[in-house]
Amino acid sequence: MPEFLELLPPAKALETLLQHLPAYHPAAHVVDTTAALDLVTASEILSPEPLPAFPRSTVDGYAVKAADTYGASEALPAYLKLVGEIPMGSKPTLTLQNGQAALIHTGGMLPEGCDAVVMIENTQTVSPNEVEVFKPVAVGDNTLKMGEDVEPGQQVLPAGKKIGPADIGGLLALGILQVPVVLPPRVGILSSGDEVIPPDQKPAIGQVRDINSATLSALVRKFGGNPVLYGIIPDHFETLLAAAQRAAQECDMVIITAGSSASVRDLTAMAIQELGEPGVLVHGVNIKPGKPTILAVCNHKAIIGLPGNPVSALVIASLFVVPVIRSLLGLPASPPSPVLHARLTINVPSQAGREDWVPVRLLFTPEGLLADPIFFKSNLILTLAKADGMIRIVPEANGIAAGETVDVFQPFG
Amino acid sequence: MPEFLELLPPAKALETLLQHLPAYHPAAHVVDTTAALDLVTASEILSPEPLPAFPRSTVDGYAVKAADTYGASEALPAYLKLVGEIPMGSKPTLTLQNGQAALIHTGGMLPEGCDAVVMIENTQTVSPNEVEVFKPVAVGDNTLKMGEDVEPGQQVLPAGKKIGPADIGGLLALGILQVPVVLPPRVGILSSGDEVIPPDQKPAIGQVRDINSATLSALVRKFGGNPVLYGIIPDHFETLLAAAQRAAQECDMVIITAGSSASVRDLTAMAIQELGEPGVLVHGVNIKPGKPTILAVCNHKAIIGLPGNPVSALVIASLFVVPVIRSLLGLPASPPSPVLHARLTINVPSQAGREDWVPVRLLFTPEGLLADPIFFKSNLILTLAKADGMIRIVPEANGIAAGETVDVFQPFG
């Protein structure tokens, strides 16, 4: 199976892959809310109780009857009788009568008879028993009714929400101590190539250490997946096929990094094609680095063949593997990525019609942030390790000129 | 101790805090390289060996003597004798003589006598024993010398580098299986307030659940710190002071969320002032939310008093706690933040002279990304849970108009 003659643009290639994936019903389990950071809700979470659980003040000030403050001004303050202070940790015992006020703190429960709170800035105590109010309040001002924030049964978090610090707080505020989350999808990782050896061995002449297993594991873990390593597979069709079949059986998706020569890339495509219908969808993407990328769906699972060289493998994984992991988690596959803006230090040529990704170093200068492209002769992974981010040159362009402002992506941290 | 009359702008307040922190020598330990994702290097890492470890081809093609290809063209190809194929996983046994070529794969070791590689695209095999070359190569073309990427003793990673997938790959490529990393700084978290109860309890009237301990723990963990919880402390000076002293003793920094009323905020500042020299540096920041922020350095440790309300506490922690954690990790305190660009849906007024942070929801429309501000009556943490990010209104502005393009920050995920 040769590479397809027509190379797909990256966006079209990803769309093709995602379109062939079935709607996914992720496996869920329940974890403590405080341990749910960065996990994804498996179903919507509804509130078991109202919030606030009692009518409360949203400011420091005086609990009043609003009608007693009507017309109050700096020139003509309203004078109210100070009848006490609302305690913070318990239910107030006093009841406000006409013309009365009680000191109240933010979060304090409104006493009976109170329908508004005057901010402390708009008052002055005249004596221990009297307070002047300079500004009128309307009924409800600076207060929250019971259940005004959240009613019982109201949605607190939707399904498919990545849980952040604020979400954990929102759940705990409602006494929700456990939460159903998506089990991290299992991502099988196979590294192939006769010349590839484990990183703890000393390479003999002609051998290289397997680093794709580790870089792809880290990327998978960073984006919420559970990497499952199948080790280094020799360039032998039946062996590769057997390992890929086992991985496809045991995992939710599979990535295979090919050996580096063209003949071996074909081996990978042939093995993937045997894994099930519909098989290989994209073989070759119009991108640099990463042209010999293989995208397939076999028996409802994404199978992705990555180039063997570590820079290409990591760039392509960030563009094609990450969106699939996100889909498997129930998240949007490709949300917009936050970027930094920087000015390019030198011209970067590119071939029109092809999308190019170029690693850059960020330079902090008095004139602002600069993006300095890193060009390496080899496809050494240390190129990316030295980079602070990457810039994209769209297929429509044949390069970006020095001095232009570019978006700097940070696709793998 | 009342709040200072002059409220500092946030940037100036942070600068004041960081200036008073001593140069930090983080504690380090050694972890497996494959387990080092998102940890920070404690010292620079030098290469123990050259990379590549042998002279190799960077393309698929033919190993040649460059001089044999001089003048070759489509019209007048150079004809070379094909003398074999370089095996991938072992040292080549053949030696190239004048007029000879050998098939070589990307990453293959150059045979004796070879000084360049011709790309396969620029060749054609005429017979099993002969190959045509259409394009000349210069000495060194499409090859890497031994040590050309990395010489032994050369820096692989600097100290203070957050380890990403590519870094793990770079280390393993050189056989570096373990790496010294900074121990996560211990961040003591105290939640104070008579009205505050643990989240697993049912609030009585006037009580609220402690959520700051959990949201701040999550934020600390997200940015590489190790949260240490000291629980809920009542509004009682000696008790608060004793807890703060213990936390300051045991941790690298301390955060204390105050009860919600003004009187209790003073209690926090008084306790912090007792923890050591120089004491409180900033009391009150010109920001919304979060005005009653306290920044202190006591006995060389940052002590930060946060407002009790959960939204303010989380926003202020992202602005002042996170930079200190980063410093303690040996990272730059405040690197530029990647942002999304979106158009604002409605006018957002703000008070000139004050920095405002407003939560927004992102809306994906055919016209592009929109930022829709969320205004809540209360300071409910669910406001932030529903937000996709926050926008900042600089002190110089008195608001942002609908339709303007804004930077959307994602400070706590």
Min distance A127 CA to chain B CA atoms (Å): 19
The closest alpha carbon to A232, from A193, A264, A271, A272, belongs to: A193
Residues B65 and B133 reside in one and the same domain: yes
The number of distinct structural domains making up chain B is: 4
Question: A380 to each of A74, A262, A310, A376, B52, how far by Cα in Å?
Answer: 73, 19, 7, 8, 9
Question: B149 to each of A19, A380, A382, B152, B336, how far by Cα in Å?
Answer: 41, 7, 9, 10, 30
Contacts with A194 from chain B: Cβ below 8 Å: 88-89
Mean pLDDT throughout B110-128? 95
DSSP string covering B328-389: HHTS-SSPPPPBEEEEESS-EE--TTSEEEEEEEEEEETTEEEEEE---SS--HHHHHH-SE
CATH number of the domain to which A250 belongs: 3.40.980.10
Residues A168 and A42 reside in one and the same domain: yes
Residues A189 and A315 reside in one and the same domain: yes
Residues A122 and A166 reside in one and the same domain: no
Put simply, whether B217 touches A (Cβ < 8 Å) is yes
The answer as to whether A238 is a domain residue is: yes
Task: Give pLDDT tens digits for B71-89.
Answer: 999 999 999 999 999 987 7
The answer as to whether B1 is a domain residue is: no
Q: Do B206 and A172 touch (CB under 8 A)?
A: no
Contact in structure between B197 and B209 (CB atoms under 8 Å): yes
Per-window interface: B 289-328 vs A, CB < 8 A: 308-310, 314
Which of A53, A60, A149 lies at the smallest CB-CB distance from B382? A149
Residues B134 and B164 reside in one and the same domain: no
Residue A66, by phi and psi: left (phi above 0), alpha (psi -120 to 50) or beta?
alpha
Q: Do A382 and B339 touch (CB under 8 A)?
A: no
The closest alpha carbon to B135, from B78, B190, B187, belongs to: B78
Helices A237-250 and A262-273, interaxial angle, to 10°? 50
Q: What is the pLDDT of residue B391?
A: 96
Q: What is the pLDDT of residue A19?
A: 97
Q: How many CB atoms sit inside 10 A of residue B280's CB?
A: 20
The answer as to whether A151 is a domain residue is: no
Q: What is the pLDDT of residue A324?
A: 98
Find how far residue A137's CA is from the centre of its chain: 43
Q: What is the pLDDT of residue A260?
A: 56
Residue of chain B nearest A109, judged by CA positions:
B206
Residues A175 and A188 reside in one and the same domain: no
Q: Do A412 and B259 touch (CB under 8 A)?
A: no
CB pairs under 8 A between A and B: 297
Q: Do B33 and A205 touch (CB under 8 A)?
A: no
Task: Give pLDDT tens digits for B279-292.
Answer: 999 999 999 999 88
Q: What is the pTM of this model?
A: 0.92
Q: What is the pLDDT of residue B184?
A: 96
Query: Confidence class of residue B3 from pLDDT cuts 50, 70 and 90?
Result: low
Residues A211 and A274 reside in one and the same domain: yes
Q: Do B381 and A169 touch (CB under 8 A)?
A: yes
Token digits for A228?
A: 């499952």
Min distance B217 CA to chain A CA atoms (Å): 8
The answer as to whether A212 is a domain residue is: yes
Residues A272 and A286 reside in one and the same domain: yes
Which of B53, B170, B212 lies at the smallest CB-CB distance from A385? B170
Min distance B405 CA to chain A CA atoms (Å): 14
Element of type H or E holding A391? strand A389-393
Residues A209 and A283 reside in one and the same domain: yes
Of B3-7, B107-111, B236-240, highest mean pLDDT:
B236-240
In the predicted model, what is the mean pLDDT of chain B? Answer: 93
3-state SS assignment for residue B34: helix
Per-window interface: B 59-88 vs A, CB < 8 A: 60, 87-88
The answer as to whether B335 is a domain residue is: no
Residues B225 and B153 reside in one and the same domain: no
CATH number of the domain to which B35 belongs: 3.90.105.10
Put simply, whether A205 touches B (Cβ < 8 Å) is yes
Cα distance between residue A295 and residue A273, in whole Å: 10
CA atoms within 13 A on the CB side of B274: 15
Task: Give pLDDT tens digits for B291-317.
Answer: 889 999 999 999 999 998 899 999 999
Question: A306 to each of A250, A271, A272, A295, B59, how far by Cα in Å?
Answer: 20, 13, 12, 9, 17
Which of A284, A302, A329 delimits the end of a domain? A329
Q: Do B165 and A58 touch (CB under 8 A)?
A: no
Cα distance between residue B134 and residue B75, in whole Å: 8
Cα distance between residue A249 and residue A251, in whole Å: 6
Q: What is the pLDDT of residue A375?
A: 85
- Paired strand residues for A304: A255, A295
Cα distance between residue B332 and residue B335, in whole Å: 6
ipTM field = 0.92
Residue B365, C-beta contacts closer than 8 angstroms, at least 6 positions apart: none
Residues B349 and B280 reside in one and the same domain: no
pLDDT tens, residue order, chain A (413 aa) = 445 557 899 999 999 999 999 987 888 999 999 999 999 999 999 999 998 888 999 889 999 999 999 999 999 999 999 999 998 777 899 999 999 999 998 888 999 999 999 999 999 998 999 999 999 999 999 999 999 889 999 999 999 999 999 999 999 999 999 999 999 999 999 999 888 999 999 988 878 899 999 999 999 999 999 999 999 999 999 999 999 999 999 999 999 998 655 666 689 999 999 999 999 999 999 999 998 899 999 999 999 999 988 999 999 999 999 999 999 999 999 999 999 999 999 999 999 999 999 999 999 999 899 999 998 766 788 888 889 999 999 999 999 999 999 999 999 86
Residues B171 and B316 reside in one and the same domain: no
Q: What are phi and psi for residue B83, nearest 5 degrees?
A: -110, 5
The answer as to whether A1 is a domain residue is: no
Put simply, whether B135 touches A (Cβ < 8 Å) is no
Cα distance between residue A237 and residue A233, in whole Å: 10
Put simply, whether B93 touches A (Cβ < 8 Å) is no
Q: Edge-to-edge, what's the strand order for the sheet holding B130-133?
A: B116-119, B61-64, B100-104, B78-85, B130-133, B123-127
Q: Do B89 and A207 touch (CB under 8 A)?
A: yes
Q: Do B156 and A259 touch (CB under 8 A)?
A: no
Burial (0-12, 13-18, 19+ Cβ within 10 Å), A201: exposed
Mean pLDDT throughout B204-233? 95
Domain containing A32: what range?
Answer: 28-49+157-182
State yes or no: cis peptide before B52, omega within 30 of 0: yes
CATH number of the domain to which A114 belongs: 2.170.190.11
Residue A91, by phi and psi: left (phi above 0), alpha (psi -120 to 50) or beta?
beta
Q: What are phi and psi for residue B262, nearest 5 degrees?
A: -60, -40
Min distance B336 CA to chain A CA atoms (Å): 7
Residue B220 gets which letter from DSSP? H
Element of type H or E holding A370? strand A368-373
The answer as to whether A45 is a domain residue is: yes
> Is the confidence at residue B379, as pLDDT, over 80?
no
The answer as to whether B94 is a domain residue is: yes
CATH number of the domain to which A347 belongs: 2.40.340.10
Put simply, whether B198 touches A (Cβ < 8 Å) is no
Q: Do B91 and A206 touch (CB under 8 A)?
A: yes
Which of B106, B214, B340 lies at the smallest CB-CB distance from A169? B214
Residue of chain A nearest B146, judged by CA positions:
A205
